[in-house]
Amino acid sequence: MLKISVVTAVFNRADTIAQAISSVADQSHPSVEHIIQDGGSTDGTLDTIRQISGPSVSLQSAPDHGIYDGINKGLARTTGDIVGLMHSDDMFASSEILSKVSDVMSDPAIDGVYGDLDYVGAEDPTRIIRKWRSGAYSPARLRYGWMPPHPTLYLRRHVLDRWGVYDTSFRIAADYDAMLRYLVKGQINLSYVPDVFVKMRVGGESNKSLAKIAQKSREDYRAIRRNGVGGIGTLVCKNLSKIQQFF
């Protein structure tokens, strides 16, 4: 049986962390560890984690240098065959998601699997605001700014061991850079499941202000050039592709 490690990096998310933890705990797959890496929360997040965590949860709290540093610290503590993330504001769309991941990954030729994502209201997660329907992967799509929804992506451990974790010089787009690295340099074999894997609350770090949006675009462009998938046209296509998610 494949063991799945789910990593959550969290800092001061007392309002949402319980739902994220419960979402992982409710998964039907029988072999799951939940690695929670807290950045030194001061708002009651740690109390909530300790109150509701079961034996499959491993908590560590220590200062970090941002979300990707926190994720990297959590990844270093995982022991699973397959690794993925559950952000502290997110939740699985159903209790069967990790079972679906395991079913796909039972094929040793598959290096990773991903699904679709719904953006939901911050206060009302039953309200769907945007739908990210990513479709099947092909290398040619990268030049048009395509990427799998990062919170839905699960990878074999050897992908991280061979191609590295998140480059913390990226403050917002380290996930995009890492995925391009895995796909272009690693040439990993991805499988797509056309089901919603994750519900993600709106209001993420990359869209908090015009300055953050500009920073994300700069970082996206650096990732695009660094991994050799295009230029400014790729960045434009990547940003324009989000429009269809509202319809």
Longest dimension (CA), the chain: 49
> How many CB atoms lie under 10 A from the CB of residue 67?
22
- Overall CATH class of domain 4-246: alpha beta
pTM, full prediction = 0.94
Distance of alpha carbon 238 from alpha carbon 223, whole angstroms: 12
Three-state DSSP state, 93: coil
Contact 10, 37 (CB under 8 A): yes
Contact 223, 173 (CB under 8 A): yes
Q: Which segments of 33-96 does DSSP mark as H helices, in order? A: 45-52, 67-75
218: its two tokens: 């700069």
For residue 93, what pLDDT is reported? 98
For residue 206, what pLDDT is reported? 54
* Domain map (residue ranges) of the chain: 4-246
Cα–chain center distance at 204: 12
Question: pLDDT per position in the chain (247 positions), as tens?
Answer: 999 999 999 999 999 999 999 999 999 999 999 999 999 999 999 999 999 999 999 999 999 999 999 999 999 999 999 999 999 999 999 999 999 999 999 999 999 999 999 999 999 999 999 999 999 999 999 999 999 999 999 999 999 999 999 999 999 999 999 999 999 999 999 999 999 999 999 976 555 678 888 999 999 999 999 999 999 999 999 998 887 777 6
Contact 88, 8 (CB under 8 A): yes
For residue 204, what pLDDT is reported? 61
